[in-house]
Amino acid sequence: MKVWYYIFILSGLMIFLHIAGLPSGASPVFDILNIQFGENRTITSAEVTSGTLFNKLFDPDIGILLLAVGASILVGFLTKQTTENFILLPLITIVGVSYVQTLVGLITYVLSLGDGVVSTIMALIFIPLTAGFIWALAEFFRGTD
């Protein structure tokens, strides 16, 4: 399966878990986008234009970002690697780190419940997802994706 399928599946799962009130790695994403949730987990405010990401994208120092992208493209040409790997690697890394944060939070939460059935169900869902994501990453960077 392609790595992008896993990116969308894992991102959607993390957002679903966050909205359900479970520990999730999606919290920093909502903070960056300035999306606020109420006590009953409904969205109370979504002012994306006043969020950190919007301010950083349209900051006067945008030249630094363009310079970094240009340097990535130059490195891609000099090393004969595909340029998209250098540009897409931060996105893949962010989703991977958020997924690990979600797993750690869920494992802690499930262990606090003390119920073996819930941990078994969690293992049946997350072990294949994790193994598939790692396999898809290996294929992506080998170029066989």
CA distance 92 to 79: 21
Over residues 85-137, the pLDDT tens digits come to 666 777 777 778 888 888 888 888 888 887 778 888 888 888 888 888 888 88
Q: Is the pTM of this model over 0.85?
A: no
